[in-house]
Structure 1
Amino acid sequence: MKEELWEYLDEFVGNSVKYLKKNNIIPDWIHSHYGDAGYAACELSTLLKIPFAHTGHSLGIAKKLKVQSMGMTEDEGERKFKFSKRIKAENRILKNASFIITSTKQEIETYKLYDFYKEAKYKTLAPGVDTEKFTPYYQINMSGEQVEEEIQRKYWVGEYIEKFLSQPQKPCILALSRPDRRKNLHTLIDVYGNDKELQSLANLVIFAGIRKNIEHMPENERDVLVSILLQMDKYDLYGKLAIPKKHDVENEVSTIYRYCAEKRGVFTNLTLHENFGLTIIESASCGLPVVATKNGGPSEIIPNCKNGILVDPLNVGEIKSAIIKILTDEQLWRSYSDSGILNAQKRYSWDRHVNQYMEWVEEARANFDKIKMTLPTDVRLKEAKMLLVSDIDGTMISEELEHPGLAELRTILDNRSAEFALSYASGRSARLVQEAIESHGLPNPDFLICAVGSQIYYHRGSEYFTDKGWSRYLDRNWNRQEIKKRLDSLQFLEMQEEEGQNPHKISYYLKDKVWKPEQVNTILGKYRDQVSVIMSHDRFLDVLPRRASKGKALRYICKKWSIPYSAVYTAGDSGNDYDMLVGAGNAIIVGNAAPELDVLKPSRNLYRASQNAAAGILEGLRHFGAV
């Protein structure tokens, strides 16, 4: 089922970013359809700073209410349809999309159940009809070869229909839909079967999908088709009811409308609730009048096209009266036919659809660009050809050393080019990193690696937002509750404050700086191979998923944004910087580094600075020729 894709959408987003960056493609606009694609569009919009619009089609809350009304429990619905993820995503889409496209004004009402209903901007834009395909029944604008093809199609449509009928010259009452109970075909047959006047006036023609062997069709479709056959027999409609087995959906639908229009017939759409009603516009464009349900989109289409009559789809008297009225009043038939042709092309052509849509897109992009220009920083990752990733405490800043070199480095980084990206990688939580940036006036980063690599945050304006793909990646093989339960039993460990914890990080203090790695390994047991245990400054112990660390988070970013390792410069001073320093293209160890980094010796790609903190970073960058 497509709902299973929800588990992989963050991976899709990450790979999309990688592909776009690698191929130097930056879209100007994103448009998504359905909730899952909307989630991906919302993430890409946030990451790449590209505006997007969304078309919902089917909504999670409505579907949830429907399946629950049919007896499905909350838990069953969640397992099968992932409703909580879908509804949360749909709310976020409403909040962040430049606008939401609906086919009708009525459709906007379906969003009222969402928390962010009022925050969204809605644009009503009906689908277009291909006016070159759905041409008036009396007009053929085609080349010689195309005319021949149309003649062939018209012949075969006639064959499909007329082999069922004893008086094929009569007008047609046409229905064309999927074999779905909600399409209400059985009511149309009841109306026709119970009325001898209708039977004398016209034949009934029902195209109910395409079938070969009814026995092998899905149960719902099979039930509808069997019901049609039983009604045919019940009312003895042999010779009066045509139910063709097939038609060419791509090329013959317009021919079917024209065939029925030439016979002065009428098209019916008695769906219990029609979200839009594209078939009504298609038939109008061909000049075939319609009797349509008043529930949903047709209630807006019919007044616009003036091509037929709206009815209650369950009121057999209304349906019968409307069909007879159109079939027997030649002047009314011509009025509906002519109006439908003119108004379908005027109001529902694809040219009009596209022109209106593009007008909204340009307006939204202009507004988005204005907002983007007011942001104090830009996400440089789209264009980055160089990346500096620095630890904060003891590296970028050092209280006890009075921040040597910080003012000069700050000036350089504040004036860096659009191709020079900056990140801070810290053991601190995201909130504490942000506090350090503000209190020390550090240059705004493009992203943060926080909590020893267990979290990645992107910076946009005054806001920070998580990389959900990274979080989902860390979820695998990580049983936080059981791991914490085991470690809590060790007497030499003391749990750090709540600020130091997160879903992918468990942090302790070492009591009296006593470190007993053997006991840690023993107590972890089978979980030992699923975690990374990192000690820093002889006092802090962090336990993370095996997949998490500053270095692994950095490699994830480089892969996602197609930044070569050779263009990456890292700077650190302690053990929790170790894998970030050994995994990057160019590493800088500042002069005041902790002894735990003594194992790292100078090399072509690793520079040990003589100066401390920020001054050491500058020294290293100059050594590598980066500044």
Structure 2
Amino acid sequence: MSQPTGQTHIVLLNIHGLIRGHNLELGRDADTGGQTLYVLELAQALARHPQVSQVDLITRLVVDEQVSADYAQPIEVLNDKLRIVRIAAGPDEYLAKENLWDYLDVFADNLTHFFRGEQIWPDIIHSHYADGGYVGEHLANQLGIPLIHTGHSLGRVKRARLLASGLSSQAIDERYNMSRRIEAEETALATAERVITSTHQEIEEQYELYDYYQPEQMRVLPPGTDLQQFKPPSGEELHSALFHDLVKHLKHPDKPIILALSRPDARKNITALIEAFGQSEDLQQRANLVIIAGNRDDIDELEEGAQEVFHELLVAIDRYDLYGKVALPKHHQRDQVPFIYRIAAASHGVFVNPALTEPFGLTLIEAAASGLPIVATEDGGPRDIIGNCHNGLLINPLEPESISEAILRLLQDEAFADECIQNGLQGVRDHYSWDAHAERYLQLIRPIAERSEVLVRQPLQRRHELYRDRAIVTCLDQNLIGDASALHKLVSALRQNRKSTLFVVATGRRLDSALKLLKNFGLPEPDILITSSGTEIYYAPKLTADTAWARHIDHLWSPHQLRQILDHLPGLEKQPKHEQSRFKLSYYINPQVIDVEEVNRVLHQEEQSVHVQMSFGQYLDVLPLRASKGMALRYVANQWQIPLERIFVAGGSGADEDMMRGNALSAVVQNRHDEELSRLVDVERIYFAKQPFEAGILEALDYYDFFDRCHDPRETDKEPTSQFNDSGEEEL
């Protein structure tokens, strides 16, 4: 059969999950979430377009009493141009995506058979996720049909999140078939004519980790938004029961609402918004702050991370005496969210997203569609959104003044705020509606379907290693902020070797302080951040906290008892609150009054098992017994299965010493603090650089031939003394 002239037949591959044309079971399980909604709404939008003749959404046939009989229909017709086609592959029952890999070749063969029976071939195949990419690559290469691919999430990034949960590399591979998933992603990238992503950051920070990464192949095309659901206020919102419920604890409920809406997650940085509000009398005079942070009955019943967030929020409200000015509603329904946006818009308010990093920023699009001007973090997706819509201001999420100044401008300058509102409404229609998405999608794929545009592929090849096999670890203050020219060369070397080399920063600073320093000096975001003297570990690109490490070091940790002992010792003075953290008590120490040995003696007498360290001659940190930079580094090496012999460590103060001892290739930069690391002069595998800061790091990397042979030239070639056993644990 032939297609109507000038029209396009599109196949969307969404193999896993449960998908049907009505009443999507969103959140039923990990496989039936945002991706299924995205693909269905994309299919519906494309089917509405006059240049599209047919859309087939291809998924797996499921015959299982545990799920609806809807998923056992081989073909579900949604309208005259759109249908869901379900292909049998493997067992009848519903399977999680991790268990589908053995059946994907059968799926590809059965789908090819279906096309032959129809006697009509699609113009474009668009695969979604790694399993769809695997099938799409087979079909594209077998049938000669161009492939478009959307990854949604990537295996190498997911692996980092799973490592953060405490799973071993072996367990991740066995449970999630991670090596097969990553291989499928590589072959999809090698085959696809175009790869569609939601943001530029996704291209730069995630796809670049892949061997078949080709930036000229990538196109940013953000998902659409339902403009029937998210729309400007009608004027009745401020008389609603929901409005009165939201503002019932506010002294002056008629003021404009500064609205924030997110999970109670430390990365969302909501406390900084309260601090910005609390530090600005002008802001408090002009507006109220309403924070929607999930649902709760009892804070003590929430998981530990959420408890910490609410504790910080409540402490900040108390510190600035914001009672009656800030609302933290305990409950809201999912279907109330659009109305909450409209309430804030009707109050002439502002929507704020102060997250430390925001990969996409869907709430910003929803707020803009609801008639709100926006203030958002400059990190990630918000750059694209405000760049497209011109509907608000970007802020540095680590500077409360930046947040308050941006909000004040929108509250004070009515003409500017109104311009942002109108720009946002139009910008969402032009860039983030499903109809606009479908229009740009077709502009992208039609030249490919018509073979008038073909990707010119660069000669690329796979590495032997599936994962990165070496790491560079450095502290911050003594190593990375002293030589701008050398820093440029170091950053260039890190980028050139990013596929093979993890970049790790280990610092005594807290996460927010470390991020601020990295941003101020234009340093790239590390793959791993070890902060607060080794008590916290975070993984890029979403700053995912390693919860397994936190559980591990909590052993015998009694901070309240420690404070009672240390706060009264002469010669010790508590550092400011922003230097303290959950697993780190920080003091200034006067060595003329008390030394580290005396502190250790007192704590030992009080039966406190802790790790005490001093740096720069004046800073004393008390940590859990299992925590230090060196212990955190060895934990990371074990989790990522990188031998210590292939890890380079650069240090500059006494707090770095335990990272540098042992089997790692280490270097002391010339500008080390006093003689704190002088004891390492005679230690094997320690190189004392002749140059300071970044230049010293480059000198040492060259000395060790780190990116090639990766060895200490003072040693004869020999087998590494550490290796990993079958369980993924390091043997020394």
State whether structure 2 residue 98 is matched by structure 1 residue 6.
Answer: yes
1-structure distance, mates of 2:121, 2:310: 46
Q: Give secondary structure in 1 for the equivalent of 2:334.
A: coil
Is 1:299 the equivalent of 2:383? yes
Residue 198 of structure 2 corresponds to residue 114 of structure 1: no
SS of equivalent to 1:325:
helix
Give the CA deviation at 1:330: 1.7
Shift in Å, 1:207: 1.1
Return the offset for 1:318.
0.7
Alpha-carbon distance change, 328 to 32 in structure 1, aligned in 2, over 3 angstroms: same
The residue that corresponds to 1:201 in the other structure is 286
Paired residues for 1:411-430 under 5 Å: none
**Deviates most, 351-360 or 169-178:** 351-360
Identity of aligned residues (%): 40
Preserved contact between residue 266 and residue 323 of structure 1 (Cα < 8 Å):
yes
Determine whether 1:128 maps to 2:224: yes
Distance in 2 (CA, whole Å) between partners of 1:22 and 1:47 is 14
Query: Counterpart of 1:345?
Result: 429
Corresponding residue for residue 271 of structure 1: 355
Listed as ranges, the matches of 1:188-587 within 5 Å are 188-250=273-335, 252-367=336-451
| One-letter identity of the residue aligned with 1:323 | I
- Structure 1 pair 257/81, CA: closer, same or farther in 2 (3 Å)? same
Residues 216-240 of structure 1: CA deviation (Å, up to 9, x unaligned): 4444334434443443344433322
SS for the counterpart of 1:163 is coil
Higher mean alpha-carbon deviation, 48-57 vs 361-370, is at: 361-370
Q: Secondary structure at the match of 1:35?
A: helix
1:75 & 1:178 partners in 2: Cα distance? 31
Contact 1:153 1:255 in 2 (8 A): no
| Cα drift, residue 275 of structure 1 | 1.5
* 1:72 positional shift: 6.6
Supply the distance in 2 between the matched residues of 1:153 and 1:247 (Cα, whole angstroms): 17
Q: What's 2:528 paired with? A: none
What's the Cα RMSD here?
A: 3.3
Structure 1 equivalent of residue 523 of structure 2:
none
1:292 deviates by 0.6
C-alpha displacement at 1:46, in angstroms?
4.4
Deviation of the 1:266 alpha carbon: 0.8
1:133–1:22 CA distance, 2 compared to 1 (3 A) = closer
Q: Work out whether 1:177 is the aligned partner of 2:262.
A: yes
Task: Quickly say closer, same or farther: Cα 1:50–1:36, change in 2 above 3 A.
Answer: same
Describe the shift of the 1:347–1:361 C-alpha distance in structure 2 as closer, same or farther (beyond 3 A). Answer: same
Specify the SS of the correspondent of 1:288: coil
Secondary structure, aligned partner of 1:204 = strand
Change over 3 Å in CA distance of 1:5–1:244 after alignment to 2: same
Q: Among residues 185, 188, 193, which one is paired with 1:98 in the alignment?
A: 193
* Cα distance, 1:80–1:6 mapped onto 2, change above 3 Å: closer
Match of 1:572 in 2: none
> Given the superposition, is the C-alpha separation of residues 193 and 73 from structure 1 closer, same or farther in structure 2, using an over 3 Å criterion?
same
- CA distance 1:237–1:44, change in 2 (3 Å): farther
Which one has the largest radius of gyration?
Answer: 1
Q: Is the 8 A contact 1:6 1:36 kept in 2?
A: no
Deviations 1:336-386 (A, max 9, x none): 112222222223221110122133333333329999xxxxxxxxxxxxxxx
Q: Distance in 1 between matches of 2:396 and 2:153?
A: 24
Which runs of structure 2 are paired with 1:30-179 in the superposition (5 Å)? 30-46=125-141, 50-65=145-160, 74-75=169-170, 77-79=172-174, 81-110=176-205, 111-118=207-214, 121-137=217-233, 155-179=240-264
Answer yes or no: is the 8 Å Cα contact 1:272–1:293 preserved in 2. yes
1:199 to partner: Cα distance: 1.9
How far off its partner does 1:319 sit? 0.8
Amino acid at match of 2:151: G
1:31/1:221 CA distance change after superposition, 3 Å: farther
Tell me the SS of whatever aligns to 2:209: coil
Change (3 A) 1:327 1:370: closer
The CA deviation string for residues 420-450 of structure 1, in whole angstroms up to 9 with x for no partner, is: xxxxxxxxxxxxxxxxxxxxxxxxxxxxxxx
From the superposition, tell whether residues 352 and 119 of structure 1 become closer, same or farther in structure 2 (CA, over 3 Å): closer
Q: Distance in 2 between matches of 1:193 and 1:218?
A: 27
Q: Which amino acid aligns with 2:363?
A: T
Q: 1:247: how far off? A: 2.9
Deviations 1:567-616 (A, max 9, x none): xxxxxxxxxxxxxxxxxxxxxxxxxxxxxxxxxxxxxxxxxxxxxxxxxx
**TM-superposed deviation, 1:57:** 2.9
- What letter corresponds to residue 56 of structure 1 in structure 2? G
What is the deviation of 1:161?
0.8
2:351·2:372 contact (CA, 8 Å) conserved in 1? yes
CA gap of 1:312–1:369, structure 2 versus 1, over 3 A, is closer
1:183 corresponds to which letter in structure 2? K
What is the distance in 1 between the residues matched to 2:301 and 2:277?
Answer: 29
| Shift in alpha-carbon separation, 1:231–1:103, aligned structure 2, 3 A | same
Deviation (angstroms), 1:123:
1.8
Measured after TM superposition, the shift of residue 21 of structure 1 is 3.6
- Whether contact under 8 Å (1:192, 1:198) holds in the other structure is yes
Query: Alpha-carbon deviation of 1:22?
Result: 6.2
Using the TM superposition, give the Cα deviation of residue 120 of structure 1 relative to its aligned residue in structure 2, in angstroms.
6.7
The answer for unaligned runs of 5 or more in structure 2 is 1-29, 32-94, 456-732
Question: Structure 2 vs 1, CA of residues 13 and 154 (structure 1 numbering), >3 Å: closer, same or farther?
Answer: farther
- Contact 2:134 2:185 (8 Å CA) reproduced: yes
Deviation at 1:45, TM superposition (A): 4.2
Change (3 A) 1:278 1:69: closer
Contact kept? 1:177, 1:209, Cα under 8 Å: yes
- Pair 349,370 (structure 1): closer, same or farther in 2 beyond 3 Å: closer
Give the AA of the match of 1:257.
Y
Whole-angstrom distance in 2 between the partners of 1:97 and 1:154: 53
Partners of 2:225 and 2:366 within 8 A in 1? yes
Match of 1:555 in 2: none
Q: Tell me if structure 1 keeps the 8 A contact 2:98–2:175.
A: no
- Measured after TM superposition, the shift of residue 204 of structure 1 is 0.8
Q: CA deviation at 1:107?
A: 2.4
Tell me the residue number matched to 2:662: none
* Separation in structure 1 between the aligned mates of residue 409 and residue 365 of structure 2, nearest angstrom: 21
- 1:474 maps to none
SS in 2 for 1:292: strand
Cα distance, 1:154–1:42 mapped onto 2, change above 3 Å: farther
- Contact kept in structure 1, 2:108 and 2:135, CA below 8 Å: no
Secondary structure of 1:309's counterpart equals strand
